[in-house]
């Protein structure tokens, strides 16, 4: 038998390595932008076609490369940024692994034109699938111009698994944002299919954040600044009342590198103490600066996971500085959360007379009378018959002379209680309404007869670039559900109509909430887009807790709920109806 082990060819090895470094067009954008930053560029232009599936081009005015370097840069482990292992502990650049260009060249058609400012002529090189196809001198401005075309052209399976253009472009925007936020002093432009998405002049951090996320953020940024021997923390956190239910504006950077850090995320959340609305996540843009020898950025190829030497102490420092920033801005007293669902406790003042509430007692009642207390109670309170019939009349205000048309009772403006044969039915009002709206929207979609209610005053809504992409992704399905929302370009859409079921007041706010909901549902793989959108729309427009319902509204809600295919669970699978069995109730009142 002959030996069977052989060393893989460079091209195959590069393709395997590319799997880790280049997952999608956005990875290419990130790597090329970081290289341009490392080259000391002051202006970087990113040009994308078809969400990067056709073309990704990054043009910089940085240091450029010599003819030899321009050839060598495509070799694996070719880097100008570190020389020995000890340099790993003093990294100041974005890149250092020398893998990105080799990986790209293995899975795409890459061409580079580059010239150092002092050279007269530049170099043009083309590589595809790790094969050098062309090398020639070229007239080109100082700096480097990379073009990556037909990504994954030689790995059809990978190419097939790329998502829709909207989704891939959203990933590109996210990576773009990470790089531009860490380099506010560099000017950036992003162009997609000939449309300018971002034009960010060199500026300070605050202006850069506004440039990236829209003018609205300006009103809710609180500066953060702490310096200790271990770490320096700077940046901004969002005011608590601007926290959102989904992720999207949470950024940690270490020595100007974007990282994810769930443990530090918790520290930030804890810093807000109890002042966040439930399930809300504050925005933050937090920059750590530390001695490079105190962190290990080498643990993951895409370098978004970083290990710190003393994470517990840093946790404490983050917590303290977030608290301090919030306190300094004296925010706590001016908090203005929505009052919905919150019980107002009136404050007593000295000159207000306190009234003892009226309690009606039965003066003839003798607790020691008779053997069978249940029978006795039934007699004393005739409304407590076996079906609890009429029990709710107890709670009718005396002045209400109207004949009650139902026997439902709303508790805490959250649950509807309704007596049924076997006991008491408890209905969660918000979830019930969600289910009703959801099924109606899906039905309208199936019949292809969505009913749009045209709004007299179409509302133009401006979104941030990433959310705009999400919205565009949703438009087709939204239309099927009865929304009339049109792309206006420039990160804006115009709402012309809402489904008849939905109230179109504050359409902009509702649309933003739907986008948030849709994003948060994207993790759920088993749900198709139309259902996801119907769910997001139903969740957004369902009546909320805290809304008081009239008798008629309660009755309608119950009737409509039980006309649904699945009245028991909300579209996201949460319980809507629970019956408290009479037997169960009786058990509570056993002696």
Cα–Cα distance for residue pair 214/464, rounded to 1 Å: 6
Any contact of residue 35 with Mg ion (CB under 5 A)?
yes
Q: What is the 8-class DSSP label of residue 401?
A: -
14 burial class (0-12, 13-18, 19+ CB within 10 angstroms)? buried
Q: Which two tokens stand for residue 564?
A: 């649904």
- 27 lies in the binding site for Mg ion (CB under 5 A): no
Applying CB under 6 A, the span of 74-82, 362-370, 421-429, 489-497 interacting with ligand ADP comes to 74-82
Q: Which residue sits closest to Mg ion, CB atoms considered?
A: 95
* Alpha-carbon span 254 to 264, nearest angstrom: 12
With beta carbons less than 8 A apart as the criterion, state whether 199 and 43 touch: no
What phi and psi values does residue 222 have, to the nearest 5 degrees?
-115, 125
Sheet containing 187-192: which strands, arranged edge to edge? 131-138, 122-128, 109-115, 143-149, 55-60, 43-49, 187-192, 195-200
301 binds Mg ion (CB under 5 A): no
18 or 478: CB nearest ligand ADP:
18
Q: How far apart are CA 107 and CA 101, in angstroms?
A: 10
Q: Which one of residues 50, 54, 89, 98 is an interface residue with ligand ADP (CB under 6 A)?
A: 98
Q: Given the structure tokens 């960010």, which residue do they identify?
A: 200
Token reading at 507: 């359409």
Residues 89-118 that bind Mg ion (CB under 5 A): 95, 100
Q: Which letter does DSSP use for residue 94 in this model? A: S
Q: Binding of Mg ion at residue 36 (CB under 5 A)?
A: no
Binding mask 36-65 for ligand ADP (x = CB under 6 A): x--x--------------------x-xxxx
Tokens of 409: 């009772």
Binder of ligand ADP out of 18, 100, 105, 127 (CB under 6 A): 100
Residue 424 interacts with, from Mg ion, ligand ADP, none (CB under 5-8 Å by kind): none
Q: Applying CB under 6 A, which of residues 24, 45, 53, 97 lies at the interface with ligand ADP?
A: 97
Does position 145 interact with ligand ADP (CB under 6 A)? The reply is no
Instruction: Select from 97-105, 151-159, 340-348, 363-371 the region that touches ligand ADP (CB under 6 A).
Output: 97-105
151 binds Mg ion (CB under 5 A): no
Stretch that binds ligand ADP, among 32-40, 424-432, 572-580, 582-590 (CB under 6 A): 32-40
Residue where the block lists tokens 């406790």: 345
Cβ 279 vs Cβ 230: under 8 Å: no
Q: Which of 25, 95, 211, 499 binds ligand ADP (CB under 6 A)?
A: 95
* Cβ neighbours around 408 below 10 Å, total: 20
**Least CB distance from residue 22 to Mg ion, whole Å?**
12
Among 15, 29, 31, 511, binds ligand ADP (CB under 6 A): 31
Q: How far is the CB of 110 from ligand ADP (least distance, A)?
A: 11
Does residue 159 bind ligand ADP (CB under 6 A)? no
CB 376 within 8 A of CB 370: yes
> Which stretch, 71-79, 183-191, 196-204, 325-333, contacts ligand ADP (CB under 6 A)?
71-79
Q: What is the smallest separation between the CB atom of 27 and Mg ion, expressed in angstroms? A: 11
Please say which residue, 195 or 302, places its beta carbon nearer to ligand ADP. Answer: 302
Closest-CA residue to 408 (of 292, 236, 548): 548
Measured from the CB atom, the residue of 35 and 123 that comes closer to Mg ion is: 35
**Whole-number Cα distances in Å, 108 to 196, 272, 299, 387:** 25, 46, 26, 74
Q: Are 222 and 326 in contact (CB under 8 A)?
A: yes
62 binds, among Mg ion, ligand ADP, none (CB under 5 to 8 A by kind): ligand ADP
Q: Which of 320, 252, 242 lies closest to 281, judged by CA?
A: 242
Q: Which residue stretch of 32-40, 130-138, 296-304, 316-324 sits at the interface with Mg ion (rule: CB under 5 A)?
A: 32-40
Structural contact between residues 245 and 281, judged by C-beta atoms closer than 8 angstroms:
yes
Smaller CB separation from ligand ADP, 100 or 461: 100
Structure tokens that stand for 240 in this block: 């608590």
272 binds ligand ADP (CB under 6 A): no
Residues contributing to the site for Mg ion (CB under 5 A): 35, 95, 100
């Amino acid at each position: 038998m002959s030996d069977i082990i052989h060393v893989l060819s460079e091209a195959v090895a590069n393709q395997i390595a590319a799997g880790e470094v280049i997952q999608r067009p956005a990875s290419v954008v990130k790597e090329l932008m970081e290289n341009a930053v490392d080259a000391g560029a002051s202006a970087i232009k990113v040009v994308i076609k078809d969400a990067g599936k056709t073309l990704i081009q990054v043009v910089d005015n940085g240091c450029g490369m010599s003819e030899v370097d321009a050839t060598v840069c495509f070799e694996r482990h070719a880097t100008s940024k570190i020389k020995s292992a000890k340099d790993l502990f003093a990294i100041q650049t974005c890149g250092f692994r020398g893998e990105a260009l080799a990986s790209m060249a293995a899975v795409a058609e890459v061409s580079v034109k580059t010239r150092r400012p002092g050279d007269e002529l530049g170099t043009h090189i083309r590589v595809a699938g790790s094969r050098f196809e062309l090398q020639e001198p070229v007239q080109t401005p100082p700096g480097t111009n990379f073009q990556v075309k037909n990504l994954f052209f030689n790995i059809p399976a990978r190419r097939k698994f790329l998502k829709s253009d909207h989704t891939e472009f959203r990933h590109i925007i996210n990576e773009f944002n990470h790089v531009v936020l860490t380099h506010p002093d560099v000017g950036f432009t992003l162009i997609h299919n000939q449309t300018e998405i971002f034009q960010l002049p060199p500026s300070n951090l605050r202006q850069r954040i506004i440039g990236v996320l829209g003018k609205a953020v300006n009103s809710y940024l609180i500066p953060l600044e702490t310096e200790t021997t271990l770490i320096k923390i700077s940046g901004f956190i969002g005011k608590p009342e601007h926290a959102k239910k989904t992720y999207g504006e949470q950024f940690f950077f270490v020595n100007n590198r974007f990282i994810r850090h769930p443990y530090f995320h918790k520290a930030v959340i804890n810093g807000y103490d109890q002042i966040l609305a439930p399930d809300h996540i504050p925005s933050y843009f937090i920059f750590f600066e530390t001695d490079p020898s105190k962190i290990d950025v080498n643990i993951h190829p895409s370098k978004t996971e970083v290990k710190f030497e003393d994470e517990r102490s840093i946790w404490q420092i983050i917590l303290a500085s977030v608290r301090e920033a919030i306190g300094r801005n004296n925010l706590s007293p001016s908090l203005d959360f929505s009052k919905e669902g919150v019980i107002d406790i009136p404050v007593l003042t000295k000159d207000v007379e306190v009234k003892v509430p009226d309690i009606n007692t039965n003066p003839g009642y003798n607790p020691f009378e008779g053997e069978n207390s249940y029978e006795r109670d039934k007699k004393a309170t005739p409304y407590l018959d076996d079906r609890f019939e009429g029990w709710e009349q107890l709670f009718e205000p005396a002045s209400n002379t109207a004949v009650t048309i139902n026997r439902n009772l709303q508790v805490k403006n959250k649950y509807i209680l309704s007596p049924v044969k076997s006991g008491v039915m408890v209905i969660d009002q918000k979830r019930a309404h969600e289910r009703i709206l959801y099924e109606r929207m899906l039905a309208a979609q199936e019949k292809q007869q969505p009913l749009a209610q045209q709004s007299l005053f179409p509302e133009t809504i401006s979104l941030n670039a990433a959310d705009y992409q999400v919205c565009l992704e949703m438009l087709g399905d939204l239309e099927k559900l009865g929304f009339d929302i049109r792309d206006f370009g420039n990160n804006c859409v115009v709402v012309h109509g809402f489904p008849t079921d939905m109230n179109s007041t504050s359409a902009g706010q509702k649309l933003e909430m739907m986008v948030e909901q849709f994003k948060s549902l994207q993790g759920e793989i088993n749900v198709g887009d139309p259902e996801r959108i119907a769910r997001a729309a139903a969740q957004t427009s369902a009546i909320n807790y805290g809304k008081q319902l009239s008798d008629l509204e309660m009755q309608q809600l119950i009737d409509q709920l039980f006309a649904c295919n699945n009245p028991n669970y909300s579209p996201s699978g949460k319980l809507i109806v629970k019956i408290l069995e009479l037997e169960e109730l009786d058990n509570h009142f056993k002696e």
